[in-house]
Amino acid sequence: MLEKVMKAAHAIEETLITIRRDIHKQPELALQEYKTAKYIADRLRALGCEVTENVGSTGVVGLLRGRETGKTLAIRADMDALPIEEATEHGFCSATPGVMHACGHDAHIAVVLGAAEILSGLKDSLAGSIKLIFQPSEESPIGGADRMIEEGVLENPHVDAALGLHVTPELPAGQMGCKEGPFFASVAYFTIEIMGKGGHGALPQHSVNPILVAAECIQALQTIPSAQIDPMEPFVLSIGSIHGGQKSNIIPEKVTIEGTVRCFGDELMSRTGQIMENLLCSITSAYGAAYRLNFRSEVKTLINDQGMIRLIKEAGEEILGKDHTLAAQPVLLGDDFASFSQLLPSAYIYLGVGFPGQPNPPLHHPKFDLDERALPMGAALLSYTALKFLS
């Protein structure tokens, strides 16, 4: 069976490159993936899949039934792009100003469509079904995974396990990284509003400057990892946005701060929200200011099942070789594949897409790029793992 999978993967390499470039040229933001969804649905129908559209808004689901009933395995790809202006010089670069596939979701789509094509050609060898889930809104706090789950994507037929992958430029093409247990972090987003009392910059005694209060709040929040969290716990609190004021001599009424918290475990995330409340309350009351904190835990911890990781690792060793199937470290990135992993035995892995021997810009960078030779490898890896699972 491995020989058949590898032969099929090699045969569709140029097709997968075309798919990736087609998707790359037409990036769409979260919950706006209309053209992307239609492109995927058309391809799935051409492969003989039963297709359901508009799941969880713009999501697409393809069902490939085998020769007999059995277990059902889900394979997931995310579809949305990022609000980034592309700075590569490819002929297939983004045709949409200010929007780019800078996180490799175009490659995820190509790889999963490739797995669909390989498995459709081996349909008579499937003792069960494959559910191909193309998910919107991974990059948005409005999680597409939860939306699709709420609309029944894991039923009819019931899904028994799930696979997914994320490309990484930190590994060269031809390598994969995997880890059982906690892999990607829980993520919370927060918005803090600091309310002061506006006035003239020359008369600060008649005002409460929310910019000064916000500055002290930010400094205090940055002490949480070092002063209130076990230093052995992976944890990060990042401020990504601060807005307040319009003119140099006007003290504003309000400052808004936005950021994220990332850690492993729901209990620690909940405790962090309370720590933030305590700090903000103390600081703002000392200045005669007020605050509002909106703390939203949006993404759960992504947990890889031991048995599913063992299965995909075995497939990786056969396809890529033992030297190219590596142990990965947990990361404080977030991915709402976690919602599937909380409900099902799941495996989520890294697929290397770095160019060997040269600098590779990271994910979410305007010059992010990938070695397209990894695409058939990813398709072979997912489809061969699926065959192992259903057998």
Binding residues for Mn(2+): 103, 105, 139, 166, 364
Q: Which residues are annotated as part of the binding site?
A: 103, 105, 139, 166, 364
User: Which strands form 71-78's sheet, in the order they lie side by side?
Assistant: 50-55, 59-65, 128-135, 71-78, 161-172, 346-354, 176-178, 325-327
CA separation for the pair 181, 352 (Å, rounded): 20
In degrees, to the nearest 5, what angle opens at C-alpha 54 toward C-alphas 51 and 58? 115
